Chains A and B, each alone.
Chain A
Amino acid sequence: MKAYVQLTLAQLRLFARNRQVLFWTLFFPVFFMILLGSFLGGDNAITLEGLVVNEDRSAGASELERQLLANPVLLSELADDRDSALQQLQDGDTQYVVVLPAGLGDAIEAGAGEAVVRLYTDDTNRTVSEVVTAAVSAQVDQISKSRTGYEPIVTVEAEGVQALNLRYIDFLVPGIVAMMIMSNNLNGVAGQIASWRERGILRRMQSTPLHAASFIGAQITARLLLNGLQAVIVVLIGQLAFGTQVNGSWLLLLGLIVMGTLAFMSIGFIIAGLAKTPESAGPIAGFVSFPLLFLGGVFFPIANMPDFLQPIVELLPISHLATGMRQVMNVGASLGDIWYDAALLGGWLIAAFVIASFTFKWE
């Protein structure tokens, strides 16, 4: 017991005194958060700004013009002539141009289906052009319907649901905490244990009555304390600088951090066992963690990954750590909601721990 306490203290002192490592392990995630948060952050809501050109001064055309300008989806302004409006569209200064051509009012009055409204959109921006086309068509449809005295058979009752206002940064912060847990433990443990073995530190300890359990227990305790603290700091920085939220329980979030730490530490111990030299531990750890970083939904949603990668991605421990934390932080999920992620992470933990305990060697 006193060996366990002393070794935990020693590891915490090593952490605290290795200022450079301490700085970079904290700076790296915060830097990533600020970098990605500021450049990619923004609002991902689509804005539709366009111009309406009315070349027909009839009552019908003016009515349509008024309705288009009042449409809550389309942020339209009135423009004077078609040519300059189209020029603005080509220059990318506006996203669409609606032209109400001369003779439109008469054509509507005639009701022969020959009334035409011209819509110009930027084809390179598909999302915008689709939404604009739908919105303008709906508006024009209403005119047609009111003219023909059309009675709707089916109506839609809109019900307001308060959706979560999620931004990229809300997605990013839990991912970055997951990344930090992975890299600190997987790379950190693999590198440190391999180096201690190489330098004979473990061998010297082995010549004393010290038990491996005390040693490993102390490593786990010290790293849990450090990781917990670092994760909380990163989450708090996210809250203060970017206004990210923790909607769920902090306790559940800490539980996930603990599980992630244990799972990736165990994997780190396995790598330290496989690596013949401390020089090879780094590259092996990199080989394992680098793909996890990109496939594990840290920076981009897993749903955006190609289909053939999905089955692999679904099995990665980091995916479930990141998803679980995201659910707790963003949606306020309870353990019942994320049991699947927690169970998969737990499976990794147990499997890695069993393998690590068989492959761990003092020398």
Chain B
Amino acid sequence: MTTNQPDTLIEVSGLVKRYGAFTAVNGVSFEVRRGEVFGLLGPNGAGKTTTMEMMEGLRQPDEGYAKVAGYDTRTQLSKVKEVIGVQLQSTSLFDLLTVREITEMYASFYKVPTLPIGPLLESVMLEEKLRGRVKHLSGGQKQRLAIALALVNDPQVVFLDEPTTGLDPQARRMLWDIILRLRDQGKTIVLSTHYMDEAELLSDRICLMDSGRVVALDTPRELIRSLGTESTIEFRIAAAAVAAAAGEAPPSGPAEELTDELRALEGVRDTALRKDSWVLYSDAPQATLTALIAWAEHRALDLAELRTRTGTLEDVFIHMTGRSLREE
């Protein structure tokens, strides 16, 4: 196959994983190139973690295979484990050990030469916590330690499974800096996340997943460009105003009546409504905006927080699946 090509580090082909009647991963194929940050983006339950765990050799696929650095996870697992570093979504560490002790312990698991502990912990900004116990670390510090442990064997590829979930914004940004620095050092990183801003910022290429399948795979820029010239126009109308504007309770309800009217505006391809925020997808934003304002004046409605933007990965996901990334 293509694993011998210099720029392909991971090859995933036709992966299927079933749990009883439920198929968690349903025929996933892609390649990860050496030195790139490869983002797996999708809502919870899309199969990101299961796909990652099959690449790490933690789960055996029911069908298909994954090869890392040319080693098949089904038959050469011990080789695979020496060249990968893993941060799992929900790992806790021994609370009563110190940062140094736990790093030394993980280093002892590898046959390959491991990194010196001082500089390693410095690279994740934990050098001052060397003697501190794990239980006294903050959430962000624990996550940085988990990344240090994933790096201890100087792996060719690092798997980071939702590394920033549950962290505060400052801790997230710190982690992003670390990941970007790793990329600059030439590490290959497979990153799963359900935050589209994170995927967009960090990833060289993004694999959009939904219901166990790959729905799109490209660079963030290309994914957004695939939406065409589409722009979105967002605004808010107070629910009370909507009801008042719709007059005496139309059979379809007030929101539906407005939706029909908005969809009829020039250039509008689709609309979406979340609580009282409206989104118009338009091929011709300028014409749509003009028509929208005229319509609002005619209806005597206030458009609050009116703004336009070009598409995001969120829009790509909605476009591909008809559902929102944030849906639980």
With beta carbons under 8 angstroms apart, the residue of A5, A7, A201 that contacts B91 is A201
Contact A5 B97 (CB under 8 A): no
With beta carbons under 8 angstroms apart, the residue of B92, B93, B105, B153 that contacts A6 is B105
Contact A14 to B96, CB < 8 A, known contacts A200-B90, A204-B91, A208-B81: yes
- Cβ–Cβ < 8 Å partners of B111 in chain A: 209
- Residue A305 lies at the interface, judged by CB distance under 8 Å to chain B: no
Measured in the bound complex, the distance between the Cα atoms of B108 and A3 in whole Å is 5
Contact B110 A208 (CB under 8 A): yes
Contact A14 B110 (CB under 8 A): no
Measured in the bound complex, the distance between the Cα atoms of B93 and A95 in whole Å is 67
> Scoring A residues 232 to 270 as 1 if CB is less than 8 Å from chain B, else 0, what string do you get?
000000000000000000000000000000000000000
Measured in the bound complex, the distance between the Cα atoms of B102 and A199 in whole Å is 16
Measured in the bound complex, the distance between the Cα atoms of B89 and A204 in whole Å is 10
- Residue B104 lies at the interface, judged by CB distance under 8 Å to chain A: yes
Contact A14 to B94, CB < 8 A, known contacts A203-B58, A203-B88: yes
Contact A13 B96 (CB under 8 A): yes
Contact A13 to B101, CB < 8 A, known contacts A2-B108, A18-B96, A208-B109: yes
- Residue B175 lies at the interface, judged by CB distance under 8 Å to chain A: no
With beta carbons under 8 angstroms apart, the residue of B92, B106, B149, B153 that contacts A200 is B92
Measured in the bound complex, the distance between the Cα atoms of B81 and A205 in whole Å is 11
- Cβ–Cβ < 8 Å partners of A7 in chain B: 105, 108
With beta carbons under 8 angstroms apart, the residue of B88, B94, B104, B105 that contacts A207 is B88
Chain A residue, CB-CB nearest to B135: A17
- Cβ–Cβ < 8 Å partners of A208 in chain B: 81, 86, 106, 109-110, 153
Q: DSSP class of A's interface residues: helix, strand, loop or mixed?
A: helix
- Cβ–Cβ < 8 Å partners of A204 in chain B: 86, 88, 91, 93, 149
Contact A203 to B91, CB < 8 A, known contacts A13-B101, A209-B82: yes
Chain B residue, CB-CB nearest to A10: B105
- Residue B212 lies at the interface, judged by CB distance under 8 Å to chain A: no
Measured in the bound complex, the distance between the Cα atoms of B106 and A7 in whole Å is 9
Chain B residue, CB-CB nearest to A363: B58
Q: How far is the CB of B5 from chain A (nearest CB, A)?
A: 26
Q: Which parts of B33-88 form the interface with A (CB within 8 Å)?
A: 56-58, 78, 81-82, 84, 86, 88
With beta carbons under 8 angstroms apart, the residue of B102, B109, B149 that contacts A210 is B109
Measured in the bound complex, the distance between the Cα atoms of B105 and A18 in whole Å is 19
With beta carbons under 8 angstroms apart, the residue of B57, B81, B94 that contacts A10 is B94
- Cβ–Cβ < 8 Å partners of B58 in chain A: 203, 206-207, 363
Contact A200 to B105, CB < 8 A, known contacts A14-B96, A17-B96, A209-B78: no
- Cβ–Cβ < 8 Å partners of B106 in chain A: 208
Count of chain A residues near B, Cβ 8 A: 23
- Cβ–Cβ < 8 Å partners of A6 in chain B: 104-105, 108
A-B pair count, CB < 8 Å, reads 67
Measured in the bound complex, the distance between the Cα atoms of B133 and A207 in whole Å is 23
- Cβ–Cβ < 8 Å partners of A18 in chain B: 96
- Cβ–Cβ < 8 Å partners of B88 in chain A: 200, 203-204, 207
Max chain A Cβ within 10 angstroms of own Cβ: one of B56, B84, B106, B109:
B109
Contact A3 B109 (CB under 8 A): yes
- Cβ–Cβ < 8 Å partners of A203 in chain B: 58, 88, 91
Measured in the bound complex, the distance between the Cα atoms of B101 and A30 in whole Å is 33
Measured in the bound complex, the distance between the Cα atoms of B302 and A41 in whole Å is 89
- Cβ–Cβ < 8 Å partners of A200 in chain B: 88, 90-92
Measured in the bound complex, the distance between the Cα atoms of B77 and A210 in whole Å is 12
Measured in the bound complex, the distance between the Cα atoms of B95 and A13 in whole Å is 11
- Cβ–Cβ < 8 Å partners of A17 in chain B: 96, 133
- Cβ–Cβ < 8 Å partners of A3 in chain B: 108-109
Q: How far is the CB of A319 from chain B (nearest CB, A)?
A: 36
- Cβ–Cβ < 8 Å partners of B110 in chain A: 208-209
Q: Which parts of A164-211 form the interface with B (CB within 8 Å)?
A: 199-201, 203-210
Contact A14 to B97, CB < 8 A, known contacts A199-B91, A200-B91, A200-B92: yes
Contact A5 to B92, CB < 8 A, known contacts A10-B97, A13-B101, A207-B58: no
Q: How far is the CB of A100 from chain B (nearest CB, A)?
A: 77
Measured in the bound complex, the distance between the Cα atoms of B81 and A55 in whole Å is 99
Q: How far is the CB of B134 from chain A (nearest CB, A)?
A: 11
- Cβ–Cβ < 8 Å partners of A210 in chain B: 109
Contact B86 A207 (CB under 8 A): yes
Measured in the bound complex, the distance between the Cα atoms of B133 and A18 in whole Å is 13
Contact A207 to B108, CB < 8 A, known contacts A14-B94, A200-B92: no
Contact A201 to B92, CB < 8 A, known contacts A207-B57, A209-B109: yes
Please name 30 pairs of A and B residues whose Cβ atoms are closer than 8 Å in the assembled complex, sorted by A: A2-B108, A3-B108, A5-B108, A6-B104, A7-B108, A9-B101, A10-B97, A13-B101, A14-B94, A14-B96, A17-B96, A17-B133, A199-B91, A199-B92, A200-B91, A200-B92, A201-B92, A201-B94, A203-B58, A203-B91, A204-B91, A204-B93, A207-B86, A208-B86, A208-B109, A208-B153, A209-B109, A209-B110, A210-B109, A363-B58
Knowing that A13-B97, A201-B94, A209-B111 are A-B contacts, what are 19 other residue pairs whose CB atoms are under 8 Å apart, sorted by A's residue number?
A3-B108, A5-B108, A7-B108, A9-B105, A14-B94, A199-B92, A200-B91, A201-B91, A201-B93, A203-B58, A204-B88, A204-B149, A207-B57, A207-B86, A208-B106, A209-B81, A209-B82, A209-B109, A209-B110
Binding site for B on A (CB under 8 A): 2-3, 5-7, 9-10, 13-14, 17-18, 199-201, 203-210, 363
Binding site for A on B (CB under 8 A): 56-58, 78, 81-82, 84, 86, 88, 90-94, 96-97, 101-102, 104-106, 108-111, 133, 149, 153
Going nearest first, the 3 A-B pairs with the smallest beta carbon separation are A6-B108, A208-B109, A207-B86
